[in-house]
């Protein structure tokens, strides 16, 4: 694992009108090659932390660096480019386009890459094969199982080789067997070098990952990386 930081948060706060503090001063570094669980109960701040790391929202205070870029110095258009070039997202509800095949859903992950359509589809086919869906490329989402939909969503998220994959409750809509398959895939991708952060309230999933960061009331209350360093 490289020591190069992919995510660097220092004193990050996020406050909403009415004095609600979703994040109350978070320090967090995620380094290249890590597989990290960001866990906590509902209301702990983990979804807000996902939005901050994913540059989907700006903090109220503190500093945020993603893939070496200081988020505070970026305009909205530059933040969009940062997400497109460096980040991959996987959500509980898949977010696949219903009228497109698995192949075209994944190829759409390269829309802003500058690649011509044929090259995008060729790369999409390679990644679908990588996630075990070589025989489902022409299927549309309604023809796929829940686990197959999530693997398609993962393929779309990694097709552009992001420096960080953010998986938000990736097994939340799946049965146990499909969820286990998806988590095994994330472990395999990490073994191949992918940096992955899994946001989850599931204690079993969190316990299965090498690094576990736990939030409560907008603060990190435990981090196995810090414990190991002591």
Predicted local confidence at residue 154, as pLDDT: 98
3-class SS string, the chain? CCCCEEEEEEEEEEEECCCEEEEEEEEEEEECCCEEEEECCCCCCHHHHHHHHCCCCCCCEEEEEECCEEHHHCCHHHHHHHHHHHEEEEECCCCCCCCCCHHHHHHHHHCCCCCCHHHHHHHHHHHHHHCCCHHHCCCCHHHCCHHHHHHHHHHHHHCCCCCEEEEECCCCCCCHHHHHHHHHHHHHHHHCCCCEEEEECCHHHHHCCCEEEEEECCEEEEEHHHHHHC
CB 104 within 8 A of CB 123: no
Predicted local confidence at residue 198, as pLDDT: 98
Give the CATH number for residue 127.
Answer: 3.40.50.300
Containing structural domain, residue 13: 5-229
The domain tally of the chain equals 1
Predicted local confidence at residue 229, as pLDDT: 55
CB 112 within 8 A of CB 163: no
Q: Split the chain (230 residues) into runs of 10 and give each run's mean pLDDT.
A: 87 91 97 97 94 95 96 92 94 95 97 92 97 97 97 97 97 95 97 97 95 97 77
Predicted local confidence at residue 8, as pLDDT: 98
End-to-end CA distance of the chain: 19
């Amino acid at each position: 694992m490289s020591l190069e930081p992919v995510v660097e948060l220092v004193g990050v706060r996020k406050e909403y009108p009415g004095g609600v503090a979703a994040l109350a001063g978070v320090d967090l570094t995620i380094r290249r090659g890590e597989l990290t669980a960001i866990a906590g109960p509902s209301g702990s701040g983990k979804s807000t932390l996902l939005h901050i790391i994913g540059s989907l929202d700006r903090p109220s205070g503190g500093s945020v660096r993603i893939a070496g870029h200081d988020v505070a110095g970026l305009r909205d258009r530059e933040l969009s480019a940062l997400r497109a070039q460096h980040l991959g997202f996987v959500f509980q509800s898949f977010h696949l386009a219903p009228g497109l095949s698995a192949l075209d859903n994944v190829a759409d992950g390269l829309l802003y890459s500058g690649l011509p359509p044929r090259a995008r589809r060729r790369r999409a086919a390679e990644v679908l094969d990588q996630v075990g869906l070589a025989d489902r490329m022409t299927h549309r989402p309604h023809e796929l199982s829940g686990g197959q939909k999530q693997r398609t969503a993962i393929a779309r998220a990694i097709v552009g080789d992001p420096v960080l994959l953010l998986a938000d409750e990736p097994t939340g809509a799946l049965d146990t067997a499909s969820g286990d398959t998806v988590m095994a895939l994330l472990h395999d991708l990490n073994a191949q070098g992918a940096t992955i952060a899994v946001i989850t309230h599931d204690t079993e999933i969190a316990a299965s990952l090498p690094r576990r960061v736990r939030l409560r009331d907008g603060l990190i209350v435990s981090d196995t990386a810090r414990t190991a360093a002591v």
